[in-house]
Chain A
Amino acid sequence: MTEKTQYLTSLLNNDAKGIMKIYTIVFPRVKKFVVQNKGNQQDAEDIFQKALIQITVRYRKERFEINSSFEAYLFTSCKNLWRKELKIRKNRVTNSEIIELVTEERDMALSILEQERWELFNEKLNKLSENCKKVLTMFFNNTSYEEIVKNMEYSSETVARQRVFKCKTKLSNTIKDDQRFNSLKKL
Chain B
Amino acid sequence: MEEDIVIHNFLRHTLSEEERNEVLQKMEHDERFREKVNFEEQLFLNLNDTEWSISKNTNHKEVEEYEKLLKNESTKVLTDTISAVNHEYQLKQNRGSQSWLLYTGIAVVLVIIGLTVLSPFKTSSDELYVHFLDVSELPSLVDRGNNDQKSLIQAQKLFEAKEYDQSLDILEKKLPTIQKNKATLYLYMGISQMELDEFDNAEKTFDNLINSGLMDAPKGKWFKALLYIKQNKVEKAKELLSEIAQIPNNYKSKEALELLEQL
Contact = CB atoms under 8 A, between A and B. Distances in A.
Interface stretch (A1-9, A53-61, A66-74): A53-61
B124 to A, nearest CB: 35
Nearest to A14: B81
B216 to A, nearest CB: 12
Nearest to A60: B69
Contact of A19 (B66, B74, B85): B85
Interface in A19-61: 19-20, 23-24, 27, 32, 35-36, 38, 41, 45, 48-49, 52-53, 56-58, 60-61
A110 B88 contact: no
Given A142-B143, A144-B144, A168-B4, A80 B63 contact: no
Contacts of B12: 142
A61 to B, nearest CB: 6
A105 B74 CA distance: 14
Interface string A119-159: 00110010000000000110011111100000000000000
Interface in A54-112: 56-58, 60-61, 80, 83-84, 86-88, 99-100, 102-103, 105-106, 108-110, 112
Given A53-B75, A87-B54, A142-B143, A113 B66 contact: yes
A86 B12 CA distance: 19
B55 A110 contact: yes
A115 B159 CA distance: 42
B101 to A, nearest CB: 14
B54 A165 contact: no
Contact of B58 (A20, A36, A86, A110): A110
A143 B54 contact: no
A113 B1 contact: no
A179 interface: no
B58 A57 contact: no
Interface string B190-205: 0000000000000000
A121 B46 contact: yes
Given A53-B79, A114-B52, A121-B42, A187 B86 contact: no
Interface string B3-30: 0110000001000000000000000000
Given A14-B77, A36-B249, A172-B43, A84 B54 contact: yes
Contact of A118 (B46, B67, B249): B46
A117 B70 contact: no
Contacts of A14: 77-78, 81
Interface of B is mostly: helix
Contact of B48 (A53, A102, A140, A185): A140
Contacts of A186: 57, 60
B76 to A, nearest CB: 10
Contact of B4 (A23, A80, A117, A165): A165
B71 interface: yes
Given A53-B79, A61-B65, A144 B86 contact: no
Interface in B132-177: 140, 142-145
A83 B46 CA distance: 11
Interface string B21-56: 000000000000000000100111011111111111
Nearest to A165: B1
A27 B89 contact: yes
B144 A145 contact: yes
Contacts of B61: 183
B47 A57 contact: no
Nearest to A162: B1
A64 to B, nearest CB: 13
Closest CB pairs A-B (n = 8): A109-B66, A121-B46, A140-B47, A144-B144, A105-B70, A83-B52, A23-B89, A14-B81
10 contacts: A36-B249, A49-B83, A53-B70, A88-B54, A113-B62, A118-B53, A140-B47, A141-B50, A162-B1, A187-B57
